[in-house]
């Protein structure tokens, strides 16, 4: 016999198997997380505008100065 549990949705009580309820809860959590991530990406696009991008310094085909953090590190050897 399959163990059942109650899922309450909009005031309705629906009996269903525990595994199906858990899969449904995980799917809802993944969908909500993806929705929040999507809103953050779209919001970032609105805040930066069309001309700017956080990856602009990584595109070798675009003209402009390279950010300091992409410059190669120079190491000096001190003679003793």
Domain ranges of the chain: 1-44
Inter-residue long-range contacts of 42-47, CB under 8 Å, 24+ positions, other chains counted: none
Measure the CA–CA gap between 2 and 21, rounded to whole angstroms: 13
Once rounded to an integer, what is the mean pLDDT over residues 36-48? 83
CB 44 within 8 A of CB 31: no
Q: Please report the pLDDT score of residue 46 as a whole number.
A: 75
Once rounded to an integer, what is the mean pLDDT over residues 74-78? 63
Measure the CA–CA gap between 57 and 41, rounded to whole angstroms: 19
């Amino acid at each position: 016999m399959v163990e059942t549990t109650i899922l309450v949705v909009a005031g309705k009580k629906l009996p269903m198997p525990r595994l199906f309820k858990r899969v449904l809860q995980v799917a809802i959590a993944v969908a909500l997380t993806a929705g929040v991530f999507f809103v953050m990406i779209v919001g970032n696009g609105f805040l930066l505008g069309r001309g700017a991008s956080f990856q602009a310094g990584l595109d070798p085909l675009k003209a402009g100065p390279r950010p300091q953090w992409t410059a190669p590190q120079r190491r000096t050897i001190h003679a003793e």
